[in-house]
Amino acid sequence: MTTTTNSPARTVDRAQYGLAAFVTVVGIVVLVDALGLDAGFADQPVQPYAFSYAIGSVLVALGVLLAVATWRGDVAEPEEGEDVDLSGGLDWTTLLQLVAVIVVVVALINWLGWAIMGAFLFAASARILGSRRLLLDVGVGIALSLLTWYGFYVGLGIPIPAGVLDGVL
């Protein structure tokens, strides 16, 4: 007669515990650093330290949850959803094309501005990574670049180069 126990399997997975410890320590460092932040302007609804407290708390919670899950024996399913062929090697052509796109964006962003270079970045990256719908790539690129420009410049007050479109946007 065999007996079964309901106790969780406690395998030692040092890598998972190491990752849990690292995430927890980073969260604690963020929380400690948040204690030193000065209060912002009185008219700000959300003070600058609020984001640090939120991110630090989430990191600590995730680190603790990962350690508990590892202690309980939970493991990820091996390669079930993976669609990358790990035996294939690196596609240097794609990598170099993406690097070239980033270099072009960095070189021209002050002159042409984020709205134009962001659209180029998004559309060119989509094409390099395999998209074959040029009009959709360009349309989505333009929409994303304009939304991010207005989100940062107008919404957050962070200046982003307008370039040749200065005064138009």
Which of these ranges, 5-9, 115-119, 159-163, has the smallest mean pLDDT?
A: 5-9
Task: Give the pLDDT score at 125.
Answer: 96
pLDDT classification of 90: cutoffs 50, 70, 90: confident
pLDDT in tens, 1-38: 444 444 444 446 788 899 999 999 999 999 999 888 77
pLDDT in tens, 36-74: 877 766 566 777 778 889 999 999 999 999 999 988 887
pLDDT classification of 80: cutoffs 50, 70, 90: low
Token digits for 49? 């330290």
Residue type, position 33, single letter? D
Closest CA to 8 of 70, 78, 76: 70
CA distance 57 to 62: 9
pLDDT classification of 78: cutoffs 50, 70, 90: low
For the residues of 106-153, what is the DSSP string, one character each?
HHHHHHH-HHHHHHHHHHHHHHHTT---HHHHHHHHHHHHHHHHHIII
pTM of the predicted protein model: 0.55
CA distance 144 to 119: 7
pLDDT classification of 83: cutoffs 50, 70, 90: low
pLDDT in tens, 119-147: 999 999 999 999 999 999 999 999 999 99
